[in-house]
Amino acid sequence: MKKNNELVGLREELSKVWSEKMVNFCIKSTEYIKIDNLFIAACDKKPSITKDIYYNDECEAPTNNKETFMTAQEHNFPQLIKDPTNLYLINHYDGSELIKGIAHFYPDEVRKGATPLTDEMVEEINKVIEKARAKYTKRLENYYKRYSDNIYIHGYWANR
pLDDT digits 0-9 by tens, 83-140: 898 999 998 888 788 999 999 888 778 888 889 999 999 999 999 999 999 999 999 9
CA 99 to chain centre: 16
The Cα–Cα gap between 142 and 35 comes to: 32
pLDDT digits 0-9 by tens, 1-47: 445 566 678 999 999 999 999 999 999 999 999 998 899 999 999 99
Rounded to whole angstroms, what are the CA distances from 80 to 55, 84, 94, 132? 26, 10, 26, 10
